[in-house]
Amino acid sequence: MGASAVGPQATREYLAQMRERYAQARHRARGRLLDEVCAVTGYHRKAVIRVLRRPVVTRRRSPQGRRIVYGPEVVGALRAIWTAAGYPWSVRLKALLPAWVPWARRR
């Protein structure tokens, strides 16, 4: 959207207040409200209409980081194979695993 002199949080708060006024206003008053919001926020008029007409959406934050796929016993066994194989990089370790699994099962 457009550039404004205030931060994004202040703009969201202002638009939330104007959304209530816009919903209750009649046709001519809405035009004046749109002019005011455009002047304050710097948004284009059609963008302001869209913002004021849609309901407030709160975004849920997704959990950060990757999921833990393997348990501690698997990680311990993999670390033992990795150490015994001489610390190969991931692609080589993946290729070596079928050969090292019988060794790991004995231990």
**Dist. CA 88–CA 90, nearest whole Å:** 7
pLDDT in tens, 29-44: 999 999 999 999 999 9
Residue ranges in the chain modelled with pLDDT below 70? 1-5
Q: What is the pLDDT of residue 1?
A: 52
Q: What is the pLDDT of residue 69?
A: 83
Question: If you search the block for the tokens 């695993």, which residue do you land on?
Answer: 97
Q: What is the pLDDT of residue 58?
A: 75
Q: What is the pLDDT of residue 35?
A: 94
Q: Mind spelling out the 3-state secondary structure of 66-105? A: CCCCCCHHHHHHHHHHHHHCCCCCHHHHHHHHHHHHHHHH
Q: Backbone phi, then psi, for 4, in 5-degree steps?
A: -130, 165
**Dist. CA 13–CA 41, nearest whole Å:** 12
